[in-house]
Amino acid sequence: MADGEAMSGATAFWKPGDRILWRYRENGGRHFHIARPVTVVRDDAELLAVWMAPGTECVRPVLADGTPVHLEPLATRYTKPRTVQRDRWFGTGVLKLARPGEPWSVWLFWEPGWRFKNWYVNLEEPLVRWAGGVDSEDHFLDITVQPDRTWHWRDEDEFAQAQRDRLIDAPLAERVRRAGRAAVARIRDWGPPFSEGWEHWRPDPSWAVPSLPGDWDRTPAHVSS
């Protein structure tokens, strides 16, 4: 992982090839329930781009009995007790792009053989940087963008259920909707990062798959936005 002394402020950037953590806090809580080691592709005042390689060991939430969250009926998905478990990302890799201060990140997916599949707009809290990576909180609602530039909302049912279960209050729900509308405007205008050709990017073949550190859930002593 990145050297803790190297990130002393918001103007310090990671170098291509650095390994950091991309984490999400549980909704309505203080603990982290998703952690993904990633390799930095680009990091500057305009963009953070990271690569999550196939086979990466991650942390993901599961129900207390080990049931995958997505298999639980929606009505009880967010109310049953949970825990976390280590697992591996077995799909093709994911390129994640985040512009500073924006309440979403854009993920790129490929089919085997590097056939581009789609962009995925993950609505979330703007990333908060710390010495070892970045943290956020997922906002349930998402947008899928196809190679022909058509788009559609994703997980509107989960977004509604999260409101019923009081994981998202009315002001936050409205803020998420505004963020979604802003993201849709970016898609319609075909602004960055969609216009920047990232679908043609490929990882450095010398990069090893980052390992998941044992202290993946530690709370950073210093945080900068």
Tell me which H or E stretch contains 180.
helix 170-189
pLDDT of amino acid 221: 53
Q: Pinpoint the alpha helices (H) of 43-164.
A: 74-77, 156-164
**How many CB atoms are closer than 10 A to CB 3?**
10
CA separation for the pair 101, 103 (Å, rounded): 6
Angle, helices 156-164/170-189, rounded to nearest 10 degrees: 160
pLDDT of residue 9: 44
Three-state DSSP class for 129? strand
Q: For the chain, list the domains and their CATH numbers.
A: 19-212 (2.40.380.10)
Question: Cα separation of 43 and 99, whole Å?
Answer: 10
Residue with tokens 């049912």: 157
Which pLDDT does position 214 carry in this prediction? 92
pLDDT tens, per residue, the chain with 225 residues: 554 333 434 558 999 999 999 999 999 888 999 999 999 999 999 999 999 999 999 999 999 999 999 999 999 999 999 999 999 998 899 999 999 999 999 999 999 999 999 999 999 999 999 999 999 999 999 999 999 999 999 999 999 999 999 999 999 999 999 999 999 999 999 999 999 999 999 999 999 999 999 999 988 754 443
The answer to whether the CB of 104 falls within 8 A of the CB of 124 is yes
Return the pLDDT at 224.
Answer: 44
Of 44, 41, 62, 60, residue with least CA distance to 52: 41
Write down the pTM of the prediction.
0.92
Tokens at 190, concatenated = 């075909």
Q: What is the pLDDT of residue 219?
A: 82
Which pLDDT does position 58 carry in this prediction?
A: 97
State the Cα angle at 149 between 144 and 150, rounded to 5°: 60
What's the pLDDT score for residue 4? 39
pLDDT at residue number 6 = 38
Task: Note whether 198 and 179 are within 8 A (CB).
Answer: no
pLDDT at 59: 97
pLDDT score of 222: 45
| Beta-carbon contacts of residue 62 (< 8 Å; ≥ 6 apart) | 68, 69, 82, 83, 84, 85
